[in-house]
Structure 1
């Protein structure tokens, strides 16, 4: 099966040239010309690899990377005219896997693609854009959380916490693991702050204690809800 590539580029000439070249090299291509279109195609087409321009007409490419990374680990190769180190660091910190500065040679892009293809994991095909657990639903693409059909308005930190628990449903996550994943910290002095955030999260989505279980002195676990519960 051909590796599927989504090209996100608003310049039609560049988009057409890249698509034609990749087609000739046995890749299956789809193209998006805006951020909104890219996010929609990412859900509906599930490309194996994304080639992303940062300067899009409707949203910044870095914001697109952040949105994608809430639910997908699909390799993202940035191609951009932005050449400052701070721009590269911003994109890579947001979750991009590689960064090419325009103008670039197609030979170099093809080489970067071959590296990305080697990193593809069969597990990536099982990623879902929506998590459902009983009456709890997380729409990773939209960044929204619903309980019994009602949207819950979470802070960015609360959203990160519920997503981390959901993606590890059934597993006990230690305080240190959560701190490292969410705060990039493993300091025990940050555990009280984590408890405060977890308490506010539970008030919003889990007043009855159906979804989040506390393991005293250890951490937290997202409980799996079976049908009928």
Structure 2
């Protein structure tokens, strides 16, 4: 269901976090639904059809992972997970289970809003189909033609380098886990061969001139995966 004003469902048992997000989201023009438990959140998701869900992992009645699993049985609404748990395994578990993004507490409200905007653009249909062409004035990736250029010069990419770049571009703004990349590009028997990815990403960064300490396009989410960042060129 689409709303003229996007609605965001916040499922978090901490009253101060719910209040903080309620104020911040309303200030940005969102309608806000609040739930303190997983069961209450699932009921609101079913009856109010929010455009996006912010879901805390540590809930009093159900683990956030359990709520996500139940939600994914009948809805593909974008879900951004929140947690004080910074463990890489938690992030990977959430993303592989169907979460669209993950933010660790404490978080910057500006970063959270930026993540929400990316997810809501996907939800609202602005990018319902994966874009076939990325062009920010410097880097051009044409997925239909399988071509990539940087500053109008063709990029010489291996098949694996192009496949990784294309997959990240198709999920621009979102984290793609190492396991997802390895499974889709190298095959299911290689989901633990993370050194393959490190080599390919290193080569891609060299060819793009992308500094890993201050990435322009390819951001590493340590231990979790990678994110292609659109719209950051100046």
- Compute the TM-score of the two structures, normalised by the length of structure 1: 0.53
Match of 1:15 in 2: 18
How far, CA to CA, are the matches of 1:104 and 1:121 in structure 2? Answer: 25
Match of 1:3 in 2: 6
Aligned: 1:84 with 2:87: yes
How far, CA to CA, are the matches of 1:107 and 1:94 in structure 2? Answer: 26
Report the Cα offset of residue 118 of structure 1. Answer: 0.8
How far, CA to CA, are the matches of 1:21 and 1:102 in structure 2? Answer: 15
Report the Cα offset of residue 121 of structure 1. Answer: 4.5
Give the count of matched residue pairs.
125
Please tell me the root mean square deviation across aligned C-alpha atoms, in Å: 1.6
Aligned: 1:25 with 2:28: yes
How far, CA to CA, are the matches of 2:23 and 2:66 in structure 1? Answer: 27
Report the Cα offset of residue 71 of structure 1. Answer: 0.8
Unaligned 5+ residue runs, structure 2? 126-186, 189-234
How far, CA to CA, are the matches of 1:91 and 1:44 in structure 2? Answer: 24
Q: Which structure's CA Rg is the greater one?
A: 1
- Compute the TM-score of the two structures, normalised by the length of structure 2: 0.52
Aligned: 1:104 with 2:107: yes
Instruction: Pick the aligned partner of 1:115 from 118, 129, 141.
Output: 118
SS at match of 1:120: helix
Report the Cα offset of residue 16 of structure 1. Answer: 0.5
**Off by >2 Å, runs of 4+ in structure 1:** none
Aligned: 1:63 with 2:66: yes
Describe how 1:204-219 pairs up with structure 2 within 5 A.
Answer: none
Match of 2:149 in 1: none
Report the Cα offset of residue 78 of structure 1. Answer: 0.5
Report the Cα offset of residue 94 of structure 1. Answer: 1.1
